[in-house]
Amino acid sequence: MIVVTGAAGFIGSALVWMLNQRGETDILTVDVHPSDAGEPNLAPLTYDHGYENHERFREDLLAGRFDTQVRAILHMGACSSTTETDWDYLERNNVQYTKDLCLAARRLGARFVHASSAATYGDGSRGYSDDHAGIDQLQPLNLYGKSKQDFDLWARAEGLLDEICCLKYFNVYGPNEWHKADMRSMVCKGYEQVRDHGLVKLFKSDRPEFADGGQQRDFVYVKDAAAMTLWLMDHPEVGGIFNVGTGAASDWNTLIGSIFAALDRQPNIEYIDMPDELKGKYQYFTQAEMGKLRAAGCDVPITPVVDAVREYVAGHLVDGRHLGA
């Protein structure tokens, strides 16, 4: 069977949906007990082995109760809040938990693919290369990024990077992210602003080389991110740290303009001052280097931002439709 942790969440539920699209239902879903907000992500999907609490799953896995069953572990479960300040919690939940699953997967001979994060790149001044050699030079801007960086460094030190995959997801957006509250993508939040107020608010730029709304990010559609993840699951001969993005940054004005276009409305953007607490921590440019993943043979096509936003808005946001519903 395939185990998907964080399965009630955003990328995790997209993976379960995509596995279902491939006709695969031999799946065990793992998460904290799904909340009223997160449970709809799993409701339309099929997973023959049911749902298990994340701590119970770790206990069962380490106790050897899955020794003949697990083909792959897709570990998407973690605290993903970039504002979390409890390091002890992050170390237990994001770092040690991932180590435990990784070592168990290796003992079982199961494929292990886990979610690292582009947050490990910090302000981007050291680039966005997913080469193993330079990861110790990265300086994450928050403790969430540090937790992901710590596991990557541990995996390298243990000589495991050729056997597992650590995926640095960039700015993922798409259906099934409603439960993420303030951590939802700007496509989701921007659509709601248009729906409720007829305009979208964006931060002004305080750097002269960027116009207001000209700050750039690598926005990747969740369906594309899931497809890249499953490609790596299917190719155990490929290991290492890999960026998961598009390789082409888009600015906020283009992203928000795509929302208005999907609704057949003229763009209406209001630029507001950036909060003091974000100054010096705000990323003005991110762009995944995708050459390493492509060189490994991954040929998953990238959906252009305008097309992906149109599909997301018209097919999911307008009527609140989850993947598989």
Supply the residues annotated as catalytic.
Answer: 144, 180
**Tokens at residue 28, please?**
């065990």
Burial 121-152 (b: 16+ CB within 10 A, else e): bbeeeeebbbebeebeebebbbbbbbbbbbbb
Cα distance between residue 30 and residue 52, in whole Å: 5
**DSSP code of 85?**
-
Inter-CA distances, 296 with 124, 235, 312, Å: 24, 10, 29
Q: Tell me the three state secondary structure of residue 306.
A: helix
What sign for the dihedral angle of Cα 226, 126, 79, 151? Answer: positive
Cα distance between residue 152 and residue 282, in whole Å: 23
Q: Tell me the three state secondary structure of residue 171.
A: strand
Cα distance between residue 212 and residue 118, in whole Å: 23
